[in-house]
Amino acid sequence: MAETTAPVFKDPSLRRSAALFRAFLREPSDPDRCYSLLARDSVAQVARHIDLPGRIVVDVGGGGGHFTEEFRRRGAHSYLFEPDPRVLGARGGAGGDAVLADGYLLPLADGAADVCFSSNVLEHVSDPRTFISEMARVTRPGGLIYLSFTNWYSPWGGHETAPWHYLGADRARARYERRTGRPAKHTFGENLFPVHIGPTLRDVRARDDVEVVTARSRYWPFLASTITRVPGVREIATWNLLLILRRSP
């Protein structure tokens, strides 16, 4: 039991960040290894705040279902909600209990989930506030919301066109197409949006339906929380913001 629930690496730590980064670099050739490792790491982060066995977990924009599967492996009742049928079908919908659904309008009753989880989805929606409101709505009072996203000024903000997005999204996209001979997967303003650290932190802190439990860089090996407190610097140095929120009573 201890072996299956142990986190992969100490978090934060240099070994963990290096392993995640190596897996990320190999993602194009070995996506399963990359997302399985990331899922194990992320679910361990949730497990630090709540006992998972028997809990209801909703994975919003869960892609191919690696996170949903990891929550199940740790004893939770986990359900995958994903709006893209190609993505949902790619790995068989996490072995069932998958729903084709948009995160703006989840087919769930208020307070249905103990944990509402969303990894790297917020930068892909045009209205992050409404997306967060829906996550809060379906989470029970006292339950947890896990929310992480790559912010626009992160070195990876432009995704496959990074770091050229610093020179403008259109220019970065054109460069990508020129270099690879194929269009970029993401188009700024269509399926990739500029989300920033400062405004997002101000927004969640101002809400009365959630309280902030953790605000930190998801991947940094040290000063993971400190970085997010330094205006300006945090927009570049955070890379990816991890928020763990608790649903207010």
Ligand X SMILES: C[S@@+](CC[C@H](N)C(=O)[O-])C[C@H]1O[C@@H](n2cnc3c(N)ncnc32)[C@H](O)[C@@H]1O
Rounded least distance, CB 23 to ligand X, Å: 12
Please compute, for residue 80, the number of CA atoms within 13 A of its CA located in the half-sphere on the CB side.
27
Query: Is residue 145 near ligand X by the rule CB under 6 A?
Result: no
Rounded least distance, CB 217 to ligand X, Å: 16
Beta carbon nearer to ligand X, 21 or 222: 21
Beta carbon nearer to ligand X, 223 or 239: 239
Q: Which residue bears the tokens 């403008």? A: 168
Q: Which residue bears the tokens 């290894």? A: 33
Rounded least distance, CB 214 to ligand X, Å: 17
Residue of 17, 78, 119, 240 that binds ligand X (CB under 6 A): 119
Q: Which residues from 36-95 bind ligand X, rule CB under 6 A?
A: 60-63, 82-84, 87
Stretch that binds ligand X, among 5-13, 101-109, 196-204, 241-249 (CB under 6 A): 101-109
Q: What are the residues facing 81 on neighbouring strands?
A: 60, 99
Residue of 9, 35, 149, 188 that binds ligand X (CB under 6 A): 35
Stretch that binds ligand X, among 6-14, 89-97, 99-107, 169-177 (CB under 6 A): 99-107
Is the distance from CB of 63 to CB of 82 less than 8 angstroms?
A: yes
Residue of 36, 102, 174, 175 that binds ligand X (CB under 6 A): 102
Neighbouring residues of 198: CB distance < 8 A, sequence distance ≥ 6: 231, 234, 235
Beta carbon nearer to ligand X, 87 or 162: 87
Name the token pair of 90.
Answer: 């790619």
Instruction: Tell me the backbone φ, ψ of residue 42, rounded to 5 degrees.
Output: -70, -40
Stretch that binds ligand X, among 8-16, 72-80, 121-129, 234-242 (CB under 6 A): 121-129
Query: Is residue 124 near ligand X by the rule CB under 6 A?
Result: yes
Query: Is residue 136 near ligand X by the rule CB under 6 A?
Result: no
What three-state secondary structure class fits 240? Answer: strand
Beta carbon nearer to ligand X, 131 or 220: 131
Name the token pair of 31.
Answer: 């996506």
Residue of 5, 36, 45, 120 that binds ligand X (CB under 6 A): 120
**DSSP notation for 133-197:** HHHHHHEEEEEEEEEEEE-TTSTTTTGGGTTGGGG-HHHHHHHHHHHHSS--S--BTTTB----H
| Residue 222 burial by Cβ neighbours in a 10 Å radius (0-12, 13-18, 19+) | exposed
Site size toward ligand X, by CB under 6 A: 17
Chain residues in the site for ligand X (CB under 6 A): 35, 60-63, 82-84, 87, 102-104, 119-121, 124-125
